[in-house]
Structures are given as C-alpha cells and as structure tokens.
C-alpha cells in the first residue's frame, strides 16, 4: 500500500487531502465530521476581527454553472468570511485539535492591512494549538471592497509586508493564499517568498458572475432584485489553477517554495495532477459541498491504487515530477509530427469528427456515402479536435511520423535528428538568440 502521509512545511497529515477554508470548515461540527470521515486536514474558514462587523446575506449565496446532465461544474459564492464570534471559533479550534492531534488544522486569517491588527490576532490563534495560519489574500468579493482579501493579494508590496508581520509576531508556519485575479501569478508568489512565507496556496476563487435571471434581469444569486460579482470555484477553474501552480513551481525565484494546490479537485486524478505540477498537498471545497465528506474514501483509495500501480511509495515520489516538462511555447518541438487515425471497427458513424473538422478546422476528414471516415494526411495538422469531439474513447488516435517518413501536408521528410529542438535552426527562439 502506498504511503499517503504528507509533511507540508512541518505540518503532518495522514493524507494530502485538506478541506479548504470555506463553508465546509466553518465550525467544530463540520470539521469533526470531516475528520471522522477521513480527511487529512482542514483550513478553518477565515477568521477576522477589527473593522466593520461581518454580516452575511440572508438570501441565496450561490450561483451555479451546470453541465448538460445537471452536474455542477462550478459554483459562484457571495459569502463573506465567518460571521461567528472570534472567541467561539478559537475555542472550537482548540477542542478539535486536541481531539485530532494527527490531523492538520490550519487557520485562515483576514484582518485590516494594519500591523497592530495582525499583531493582536496572531497570539490568540497560536494559543489554540493549531498547526499553521493561512493568510487570505484571495477573496474577490465583499472583503476586497473593504481593503482586504484580493485587494491585498493584487499588490505584491502589501503581500510581502503582511507576511513579514506574521513571521515576526508568530512562530507558526505561514501559508499565503493567492488570488487568481491578477495578470501574472509569479509576482505575488515572489512577494510572499520575499516576506518569508513558508508556503503559498492557490488558487482562491475567480471573480465572476455566473448567470443572469432573464425574468428579473438580476445576476444570480439575486438578493432582493440585485446581484453582485462573487468568487467562482469548482471543476471549471481547475485548468486555471494548474497553470498558476506550474508557473510558481518552475519560476527560478519560487521553485523551492512549497505549494498547496487548490481549484477544482474532484477526483484522485485531479489531485495527482496538482501534485505532479508542484503541489505538496491539495485543498478541496466544491466537490465536498456537492457530494459530501464521504468522497474522501474515493480520493484516498484512488490515489493509493494509482501510486501502487506506478510504483510510487509516497506522495513525495511523484510530487513536481511533471514540472520539468512544462515549457514556453517557443521551445516546443515543431519537428514532432503526428496524424489522426480513425479505427473503423470502433467508429459508430456519428459524424461528429467530420462535422467539426469540415466546418471549423482543416477539412482533413472525408466521408463516404456509407458514412465511413478517413483522414486526409495532406490536410491534417494534428490539432486533435476530432479526438476531442469523438464520443468513443480510443476510436481516434494520433500516430507519430518516424524519421524518414514524408509529411504529405508540408512535403518535408521527418528529420533523423530532431530531439534537441531548443538549438534547431528552424526554432524561432534559436534564430532570435543568434
């Protein structure tokens, strides 16, 4: 059996699956149920003090994007940080940590961007016995309008400043939660690193409006006929999150900075992808809200089985393994050539590949009167749209041309030596360097 235990910046947990700071970690009752179900850790829903009182809406808080089968693809929320008393939360955190000493309990924090506010709250949090703190620099709604959340996370100088305060006034590991609502995620990550952060976590939610009620002409969720932008999360944001995690993991200035991956983790495979791209653990929210805490059994069993199959004894064995294979576009090998191949035995003759290629791509698939489909090599650019739209897995594949083969589209023979594309004379980057 694979060993799923993790040690993330000195915080140990029995598996890499933590619940993210959100409604699932709002109170003792929820967190106890989560730990009893088998979750490795939690980041307690964001605490705060000072500034205007936190008052959440009493109407709908969530807007949803559905798939064709009404499966939840993404949730937009307009909920603020906890509106429960700070002291109540602190007492509950202390009790939970005492009863579950082997689980990770990290506390999310957000207070005004003033040194005294952070200096005052940190000792009280540390007294709970929690394992670390996460600085919420990502919330894009409600709190950002008060000069907190993403309003801080979008200014690298503020990130570094607050991180330095937290490192000065607390001995706990400091995890900085980053906002995706920024042009280049590397700059806030570098600022967190410069401030002495022990790790970063990302992504927080994406600022969004998910839909508009065309009867009331109000964005959803609608509160008395009005709506507001909120924070978008779930499967739909996973590609954004993976890219940003990889950007930090391969940036020379932050390459060694531990990362907690967040954003659309729904299956064990999602988690493995985050870990391979640089994360040391993952945080989950939306899938727990949709399916309940019991999904942890599928997550841990699936990851463990895959690790056994691949020969990975621990999570650390494959963490960051994919990072060296992430590169900039100009370094992709333009001499690597493939062509689509359609298996007539698997084909159900739906014609989706033909329609997609004929109407929107390169007219590289021909259809006979009896609805058989064949690839026209002279036109195929290997875009793989046909594979993407085909409803039969494995029916269409890409076949690599070998050295010496003729590419009928370009009339060029595939070169014998094309492995080192970075110095190849056809590489625009190499030409620019010369």
Beta-sheet pairing, 72-77 with 62-66: antiparallel
- 8 Å CB contact between 147 and 154: no
Which of 129, 174, 122 lies closest to 10 in space, CA to CA? Answer: 174
- What's the CA gap between 192 and 423, in Å, rounded? 35
- 8 Å CB contact between 306 and 4: no
Question: Would you call the peptide bond into 390 cis, given omega within 30 degrees of 0 as the criterion?
Answer: no
Sign, CA torsion 74/78/80/83:
negative
Quick one: DSSP state of residue 149? Answer: T
- What's the CA gap between 381 and 410, in Å, rounded? 10
* Rounded alpha-carbon distances, angstroms, from residue 410 to 53, 294, 388: 66, 54, 24
- What's the CA gap between 221 and 218, in Å, rounded? 8
* Rounded alpha-carbon distances, angstroms, from residue 135 to 85, 158, 163, 238, 307: 19, 12, 8, 21, 32
Which of 113, 130, 139, 380 is catalytic? The answer is: 139
Identify the three-state secondary structure at position 20: coil
CB atoms within 10 A of CB 279: 32
Does 113 qualify as catalytic in the annotation?
no
Which of 171, 214, 218, 219 lies closest to 196 in space, CA to CA? Answer: 171
- What's the CA gap between 174 and 169, in Å, rounded? 11
- What's the CA gap between 357 and 214, in Å, rounded? 35
End-to-end CA distance of the chain: 52
Catalytic residues, by residue number, are 139
């Amino acid at each position: 059996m694979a060993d799923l235990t993790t040690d993330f910046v000195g915080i140990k947990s029995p598996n890499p699956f933590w619940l993210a700071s959100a409604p699932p970690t709002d109170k003792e009752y929820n967190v106890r149920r989560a730990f009893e179900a088998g979750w490795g850790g939690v980041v307690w829903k964001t605490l705060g003090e000072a500034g205007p009182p936190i008052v959440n809406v009493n109407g709908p808080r969530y807007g949803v994007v559905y798939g064709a089968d009404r499966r939840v693809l993404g949730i937009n929320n307009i909920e603020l940080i906890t509106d429960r008393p700070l002291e109540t939360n602190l007492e509950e955190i202390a009790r939970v940590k005492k009863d579950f000493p082997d689980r990770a309990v990290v506390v999310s924090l957000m207070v005004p961007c003033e040194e005294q506010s952070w200096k005052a709250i940190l000792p009280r949090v540390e007294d709970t016995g929690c394992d670390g703190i996460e600085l919420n620099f990502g919330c894009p709604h409600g709190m950002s309008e008060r000069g907190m959340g993403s309003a801080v996370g979008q200014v690298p100088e503020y990130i570094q400043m607050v991180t330095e305060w937290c490192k000065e006034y607390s001995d706990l590991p400091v995890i900085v939660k980053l906002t995706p609502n920024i042009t280049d995620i590397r700059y806030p990550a570098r600022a967190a690193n410069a401030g002495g952060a022990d790790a970063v976590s990302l992504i927080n939610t994406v600022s969004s409006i998910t839909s508009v009620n065309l009867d009331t002409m109000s964005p959803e969720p609608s509160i008395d006929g009005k709506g507001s932008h909120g924070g978008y999360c779930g499967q739909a944001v996973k590609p954004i999150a993976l890219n940003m995690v990889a950007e930090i993991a391969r940036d020379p200035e932050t390459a060694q900075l531990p990362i907690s991956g967040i954003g659309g983790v729904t299956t064990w495979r999602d988690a493995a992808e985050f870990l391979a791209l640089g994360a040391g653990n993952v945080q989950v929210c939306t899938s727990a809200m949709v399916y309940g805490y019991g999904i942890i059994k599928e997550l841990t069993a699936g990851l463990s089985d895959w690790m056994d199959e691949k020969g990975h004894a621990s999570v650390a064995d494959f963490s960051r393994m994919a990072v060296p294979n992430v590169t900039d576009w100009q370094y992709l090998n333009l001499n690597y050539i493939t062509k689509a191949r359609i298996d007539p035995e698997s084909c159900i003759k739906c014609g989706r590949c033909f329609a997609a290629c004929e109407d929107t791509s390169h007219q590289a698939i021909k259809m006979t009167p009896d609805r058989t489909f064949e690839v026209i090599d002279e036109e195929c650019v290997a875009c793989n749209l046909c594979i993407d739209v085909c409803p039969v897995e494995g029916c269409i594949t890409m076949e690599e041309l070998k050295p010496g083969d003729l590419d009928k589209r370009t009339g060029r023979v595939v070169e014998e030596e094309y492995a080192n594309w970075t110095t190849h004379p056809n590489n625009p980057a190499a030409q620019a360097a010369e």
